[in-house]
Amino acid sequence: MNNANALTQYQSEVIEALKSVANLGKPFEKVIIDTLKLFMAIPDKINFLQMGRYGEFAEQTYRNTFTRDDFDWFAFNLFLANKVCTGKFRAIAVDPSFIPKVGNKTPWFGKFWSGAAGGPKRGLELLGIGLIDVENHDCMALGALQTPNAKTLEEMDYNLVDWYRELLISMKDRLQAISKLLVADAFFAKQTFVLPLLDEGFHVVSRMRNDAALWYPTTEKPSGKRGHPRWYDGKIDFANLDPTRCVELHVDKGRLFGLKAYSKSLKRFIKVAIWYPDEDSMDKWQIYFSTDESMTTRDVINCYRTRFQLEFCFRDAKSYAGLNDCQARDLRRLEFHFNASFASINLAKAACKNLGVTFSVSSCKSMIHNAYMLERFICVSGLRPNPQVIDKLFKELVLFTSRAA
């Protein structure tokens, strides 16, 4: 990065994004700027003790700040997302992620599915909401909310899918102002999730089970007799597709077919994209769908595959921004920490874009840490060095551990 401006640009991104959030007092604004800077500057675990060591404020100040639940993380992250995700084809992606945690006193602590472990584990779960840019194959996290455990859901008379659905419906106005297209993985391809969202004005893109019950649309013309004409006339055999009922598209790997089909579970026609990984065999397939029949086959599969970029937001936040490190036992502090972790990754992306360099969270974190430590040394020493004299040395120290993206 030119002239080692990573930290300076990162700070300017924080200050600019805070203008999109209303009702911030000056004391809180100073603390949140320092907090988001620390999430990139601290090299080890990011918790209140570490923030008290590295930051400008006392440990208790950060603890008190994290209890505020009126900070609009959605507006903050959306401001950054609009700077990075500049494509015209955008959608909302949702995905849950497991957070390792111990301690029965932690709010909503319970058993949740862990994809890495391939089974349920004791800990916490977050539902991440992101903005995906399908054209540029990128994603920015808009926020994360902690999932209630089984006991809490039972008291609410909800199951897990109900809670996900009602949360998204409660955010309907803000989400649909961005896009009415919602992308989720195969777990969400359920009637109880998809149909209520359709009633609220969303369209859903997801993946079905390989044995999904789908039918070809009828080719019969209306007979003029009483009653509605037939909706469909033949169940789809995915191992032996009818070539006259679908269109094959050229792809780099495998074979891709698109068609309109009737879904028995959703009780409606949907746009279906069927992908066969092996060009010479049709024994294995994956079924992607969209409730928006006007979408093209290629858009359906590209939209679903771009959803995986949200997984990378979780990966970067866990590896470099302390998503798993919070030791608080207060729901407000936990959610503040989770959202600050995602926001710091978004800020790093926005800083790299403005500086015109390829985004690498590892390199960005190293340079911000080095620049932050050098500034601290100079500040504590009380010296006022000539920047022209130490410019070359400053660059070498800041860029010492940076890596190519």
pLDDT digits (tens, 9 = 90+) for 220-250: 776 667 766 677 888 999 999 998 999 999 9
On the question of pLDDT at 3 being above 50, the answer is no
Same domain, 171 and 278: no
Same domain, 219 and 149: no
* Sign of torsion over alpha carbons 100, 104, 106, 109: positive
- Asked if residue 221 is part of any domain, the answer here is yes
- Asked if residue 296 is part of any domain, the answer here is no
Looking up tokens 């068609």, which residue turns up?
Answer: 259
Same domain, 193 and 228: no
Same domain, 224 and 271: yes
Can you give the pTM of this predicted structure? 0.90
In order of 132, 180, 256, 294, the CA distances from 136 in angstroms are 9, 19, 21, 21
- Asked if residue 317 is part of any domain, the answer here is no
DSSP run (H or E) holding 375: helix 361-381
pLDDT confidence tier of residue 182, bands split at 50, 70 and 90 = very high
- Our count of domains for the chain comes to 3
Same domain, 272 and 358: no
Same domain, 241 and 277: yes
pLDDT confidence tier of residue 130, bands split at 50, 70 and 90 = very high
Same domain, 351 and 259: no
Residue where one domain finishes, among candidates 312, 342, 366: 312
User: How close are the terminal C-alpha atoms of the chain, in Å?
Assistant: 12
On the question of pLDDT at 399 being above 60, the answer is no
Average pLDDT over residues 71-76: 96
- Asked if residue 90 is part of any domain, the answer here is yes
Same domain, 245 and 360: no
Q: Identify the domain containing residue 137 by its residue range.
A: 73-207+308-312
Provide the token pair at 49: 């003790």
- Asked if residue 403 is part of any domain, the answer here is no
Same domain, 91 and 108: yes
CA distance 235 to 216: 6
Q: What is the DSSP letter of 57?
A: S
Average pLDDT over residues 269-276: 96
Q: What is the mean pLDDT of the chain?
A: 90
Same domain, 99 and 133: yes
CA distance 10 to 370: 13
- Asked if residue 303 is part of any domain, the answer here is no
Report phi then psi at 263, rounded to 5: -95, 125
Same domain, 59 and 84: no
Q: What percent of the chain has pLDDT over 90?
A: 72
Provide the token pair at 195: 């149909």
Same domain, 133 and 219: no
Residue 228: predicted pLDDT: 67
- Asked if residue 109 is part of any domain, the answer here is yes
- Asked if residue 17 is part of any domain, the answer here is yes
Task: Give the CATH number, domain containing residue 111.
Answer: 3.30.420
